[in-house]
Chains A and B, each alone.
Chain A
């Protein structure tokens, strides 16, 4: 009996591993991917990058331009995230099982949030390109929709996890809905929610760079411009600037998180 149990467990993991290998091999065959050639080209790519892709003295002239488009990207990301968070808070309160007004509105707000979450930010950018054309507004709305969907989900889980007990206690005292939300749910979940918002800002700054390529705005566009015109030195300066700013923002948000949690 016991031996059976362990044998079955071993067989299951072996089976799972086998399927994984089969899928990988299948994918390689179908796409006609040459593994050896793939790995062989790596050193050459590195050599090329070292030979061409580095900032030079002359590229520094463009630094102020790069900085201003970087700031635009940063601000758009932060604005999209914070406005998204406000909407997400409302939908999360409506959608959480602990705080929803009734089951009907609960499922509606969850469905809306799921819809927005499951469409990728890049997909949103492509969809919105039709309405707003190539402008930073398109990027802003793409990030806003993506953050809204993700944050709603994260907030719902925070509310359910953190405030179940105290919500019950306040309901038992006869407190009204607004009191319960503002005296129990929000004070309990604010630190975790802020932490999610910071995470979302970080993620959005990364996505904003990519979305800039699509929407023709921000730092992504700047990179594309110089890269396509073969100004690799300036393009690499853009990359360095992005990396530095992402590291900087990550350390800032880690610090804030340490203080509030």
Chain B
């Protein structure tokens, strides 16, 4: 079943810069999809258009049979509660504890007063603890977020998204600031979320090898256009070249290695 459909989406910043032009793709329920492409290709813009952190200029975005682009403020908030988002720089409130940051995922479902005062029920707190322990953060529940390492912060980011009980997760460069070990832990968790919980995962990535290893499908973007859309097995040297431009010689060797293994 199709969960997300992106049809003819364009985004223009000002008069000159076209960040996205006529982007089309769809994502099925439970699928793990990576978006790869050079810096400035429009990956982040595309991801943010889906939950309307940025408003697209043209086209339609259908999520769960609703056209996201036509939603009013209240409906948009409803849709956002069903979409978790994690960020390259984790975007936690550094001075608050791990569990408070996790519970922030529930703010979308709260009334103004309950949200402002941070009133959470016992079940919500228990659920937060449960999610944190599946992510291996039992010992850090009451620590302040700024005392954690990068990998641990990103796991808190995942916990904040998971407590929303989302249909889909948008991950904007989740491992770009992490060392290889932490990056692997994060990617394994994301893959696991998709496989065991059936949550659709859409990830922006810089690392081609990671994208090929973890994804059901890869979407390649260059200059705001989709230039590849297929399974990791189908990707060829030419495709990589088309996504990254002519200087991709070094990358090609890596791709060969991945296919061989």
Contact = CB atoms under 8 A, between A and B. Distances in A.
A187 B95 contact: yes
Chain A at the B interface: mostly helix, strand, loop or mixed?
helix
Interface string A130-174: 000000000000000000000000000000000101101111111
Interface in A175-189: 175-176, 178-184, 187-188
Contacts of B94: 166, 188
Contacts of B105: 173
B110 interface: yes
B222 interface: no
A166 B115 contact: no
Contacts of A55: none
A91 B168 CA distance: 37
B8 interface: no
Contacts of B113: 178
A183 B116 CA distance: 6
Given A169-B104, A174-B79, A174-B108, A184 B85 contact: no
Question: Which range contains the number of B residues in contact with the other chain?
Answer: 35 or more
A221 to B, nearest CB: 43
Given A174-B80, A188-B94, A188-B95, A169 B118 contact: no
B93 A178 contact: no
A204 B52 CA distance: 45
B200 interface: no
A172 B104 CA distance: 11
B93 A172 contact: no
Interface residues on A, range: 20 to 34
Contacts of A181: 116
A191 interface: yes
Contacts, number: 95
Contacts of B1: none
B90 interface: yes
A182 B92 CA distance: 14
A175 B104 contact: yes
Interface in B160-179: 160-161, 164, 170
Interface in B88-146: 89-96, 104-110, 112-113, 115-118
A160 to B, nearest CB: 15
B85 A169 contact: yes
Contacts of B87: 165, 168-169
Interface of B: 51, 53, 76-81, 83-85, 87, 89-96, 104-110, 112-113, 115-118, 157, 160-161, 164, 170
Given A169-B157, A183-B107, 5 more contacts: A172-B83, A176-B77, A176-B107, A176-B108, A190-B95
30 contacts: A165-B90, A165-B92, A168-B87, A168-B91, A169-B85, A169-B92, A170-B104, A170-B107, A173-B81, A173-B84, A173-B164, A174-B77, A174-B79, A174-B108, A174-B109, A175-B104, A176-B77, A176-B107, A178-B113, A179-B112, A179-B116, A182-B115, A182-B117, A182-B118, A183-B96, A183-B115, A187-B93, A187-B96, A188-B93, A188-B94
Report, nearest first, the 6 A-B pairs whose CB atoms are least far apart: A174-B108, A179-B115, A174-B80, A175-B107, A165-B91, A169-B91
